[in-house]
């Protein structure tokens, strides 16, 4: 009898004045909101894009937190009036994520759900090699340029994975040259002193079917003083301007007839104190092979340089005698810091702009070097 009384006590009046038990009270307090997390907890080999989603029925989401094992958060947004949450970017490969989601029903009662899953480990990967270097100071014409080790067939996903912020703020847009190079620049030359930060988040982005990026790093660079140099191929002069003011005019020689220098805006992409120039490497046969060209600065990928010239005689400022390069008077060995070539080399940054005018040649192709400034903004963003 004692045992029966003890077991049946929950249904007696002792449980409450109305005879209803505490389990019913708890049932009233339970939220009607039902949270669903995809993928299921414990899943492995999860796709880095399109697989993660949080939904709720009979309620609205109020909080969704997704973190990797190191505590780094995944950004995302709640949509549909609180009905679902999706990440704003792809996930990293071979990474374990933890999801915590909270929802409320129509009476404000909360419901929570947690999940843990691991993304796929790719068999095939790609990298992006970039310029300028992290921490560098560059000229006003320098784009942020990325070359990929595999041809990209999903350009929107890759472009979305590269986020550029600037101080002061300026709109920066990307442009593809083929399927393996992506350059970013503003509409006009960078403003002097601009701080540029690039979040290069390629880890886990599917650049082509079954091929995933495998790097995530932050790159910062600063825009230096505003230097633009204007070469007049007809007058054989170069005017170097800083902040729009001419600071020096130098005599030059440009491409002779049949080897005319490109017209247009070109960006210094490389500086070499001394280099070898062999005509065979640019398709000119055995016309020259100079092993010690001083103070050389590359302007195009096809081999146009502004460089020191110690063999040009009286050509500088008088006539055009080069095979397409911009030559400035120099000495063999480049030891004399007072020569025009040495002065220009010492006062130039990678990313400075050199504009050539009045040459008997067409405008340089925008993809030939970092010379996208020869495209209109409409074409660049198209």
Q: What is the CATH number of the domain that holds 269?
A: 2.40.440.10
Q: Between residues 286 and 261, which one has the greater pLDDT?
A: 261
- Domain shared by 81 and 191, yes or no: no
- Domain shared by 231 and 368, yes or no: yes
Is pLDDT above 50 for 13? no
Read off the pLDDT of each residue in 308-323 and give the average, rounded to a whole number.
97
pLDDT tens per residue across span 148-191 = 999 999 999 999 999 999 999 999 999 999 999 999 999 999 99
Domain end residue (candidates: 180, 204, 223)? 223
Q: What is the CATH number of the domain that holds 52?
A: 2.60.40.3780
pLDDT tens per residue across span 29-42 = 899 999 999 999 99
CA-wise closest residue to 51 among 100, 121, 120: 120
Q: CA–CA separation, 234 vs 93, rounded Å? A: 56
- Domain shared by 136 and 272, yes or no: no
Q: How many domains is the chain built from?
A: 3
Looking only at the bridges linking them, the beta strands covering 305-309 and 326-329 are parallel
Looking only at the bridges linking them, the beta strands covering 144-148 and 128-131 are antiparallel
Domain end residue (candidates: 202, 223, 244)? 223
Can you give the pLDDT at residue 287? 83
Domain that holds residue 151: 124-223
Is pLDDT above 60 for 68? yes
Tokens 């990440």 belong to 87
pLDDT tens per residue across span 228-275 = 999 999 999 999 999 999 999 999 999 999 999 999 999 999 999 999
- Domain shared by 239 and 375, yes or no: yes
- Domain shared by 231 and 302, yes or no: yes
Does residue 276 form part of some domain? yes
Can you give the pLDDT at residue 28? 58
Specify whether the CB–CB gap between 213 and 205 falls below 8 A.
yes
Q: CA–CA separation, 136 vs 133, rounded Å? A: 6
- Domain shared by 187 and 273, yes or no: no
Read off the pLDDT of each residue in 219-224 and give the average, rounded to a whole number.
98
Specify whether the CB–CB gap between 75 and 161 falls below 8 A.
no
Token pair recorded at residue 247: 């600071």
Specify whether the CB–CB gap between 355 and 265 falls below 8 A.
yes
Domain end residue (candidates: 190, 205, 223)? 223
pTM over the 0.85 mark: yes
CA-wise closest residue to 305 among 295, 296, 317: 296
Q: Which residues are known to be catalytic?
A: 307, 325
- Domain shared by 108 and 185, yes or no: no
- Domain shared by 235 and 371, yes or no: yes
């Amino acid at each position: 009898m004692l045992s029966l009384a003890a077991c049946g006590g929950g249904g007696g009046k002792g449980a409450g004045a109305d005879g209803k038990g505490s389990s019913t009270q708890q049932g009233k307090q339970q939220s009607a909101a039902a949270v669903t997390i995809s993928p299921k907890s414990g899943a492995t080999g999860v796709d880095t894009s399109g697989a993660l989603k949080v939904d709720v029925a009979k309620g609205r989401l109020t909080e969704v937190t997704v973190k990797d094992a190191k505590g780094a958060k995944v950004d995302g947004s709640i949509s549909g009036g609180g009905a679902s949450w999706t990440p704003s970017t792809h996930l990293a490969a071979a990474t374990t994520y933890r999801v915590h989601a909270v929802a409320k029903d129509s009476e404000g009662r909360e419901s929570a759900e947690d999940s843990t899953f691991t993304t796929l480990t790719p068999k095939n990967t790609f990298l992006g090699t970039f310029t300028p270097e992290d921490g560098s100071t560059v000229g006003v014409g320098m784009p942020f340029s990325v070359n990929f080790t595999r041809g990209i067939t999903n350009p929107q996903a890759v472009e979305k994975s590269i986020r550029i912020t600037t101080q002061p703020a300026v709109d920066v847009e990307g442009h593809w040259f083929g399927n393996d190079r992506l350059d970013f620049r503003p509409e006009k030359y960078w403003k002097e002193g601009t701080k540029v930060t690039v979040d290069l988040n390629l880890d886990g982005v599917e650049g082509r079917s079954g091929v995933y990026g495998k790097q995530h790093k932050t790159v910062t660079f600063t825009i230096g003083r505003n230097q633009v140099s204007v070469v007049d191929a007809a007058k054989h002069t170069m005017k170097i301007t800083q902040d729009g003011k001419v600071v020096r005019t130098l005599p030059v020689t440009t491409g002779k007839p049949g080897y005319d220098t490109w017209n247009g805006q070109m960006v210094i992409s490389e500086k070499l104190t001394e280099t070898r120039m062999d005509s065979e490497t640019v398709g000119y046969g055995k016309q020259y092979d100079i092993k010690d060209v001083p103070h050389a600065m590359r302007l195009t990928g096809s081999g146009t340089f502004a460089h020191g010239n110690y063999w040009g005689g009286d050509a500088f400022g008088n006539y055009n005698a080069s095979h397409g390069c911009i030559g400035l008077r120099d000495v063999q060995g480049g030891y004399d810091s007072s020569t025009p070539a040495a002065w220009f080399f010492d006062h130039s940054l990678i990313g400075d702009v050199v504009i050539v005018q009045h040459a008997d040649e067409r405008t340089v192709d925008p993809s030939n070097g970092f010379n996208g400034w020869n495209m209109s903004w409409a074409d660049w963003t198209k």
